[in-house]
Homo-oligomer: A and B are copies of this chain.
Amino acid sequence: MNKRYKKGWETLGKINSQAGQRILDLLKDISPDMARFVIEYPYGDIYSRPGLDLKTRELLTIASLTTLGYAKDQLKAHIKNAFNAGCTKEEMTEVMMQMSIYAGFPAALNALFILKEVLQEKKDAKKK
């Protein structure tokens, strides 16, 4: 276990170690190296940097994934990360609304619908 991998897990541990573990599990028989790269580069090299706090980084990621339009699973995972990093539902809503300007209304609306899904899942989980 190299330094970057360790740092990546430390950073992931602050926002969503389950999501990290899930990607590892999914990739283990098909591409364990890619699983390692996902921990090392995004989380070990980038998210762990001091220049921006994790809360801001998650909002930026939501902005980017909303703009891409097609990355629905990743957006869902990062909405959960964003909650763990201390972002509120209101802040995420603002980010997605703002994206209507740059990426168009379909991108913004699809992101809001995914946020709605996550909120519903949270509600359902509480009931149990």
Residues in A lying within 8 Å of B, measured CB to CB = 23, 26-27, 29-31, 33-34, 37-38, 41-42, 45-47, 49, 51-52, 56-57, 59-61, 63-71, 73-74, 89-91, 93-110, 112-113, 115-116, 119
Contacts and interface: CB of A to CB of B under 8 A. Distances in A.
Q: Residue among A29, A63, A71 with the most chain B CB within 10 A? A: A63
A111 to B, nearest CB: 10
B59 A97 contact: no
A52 B101 contact: no
A102 B108 CA distance: 10
A62 to B, nearest CB: 8
B105 A42 contact: yes
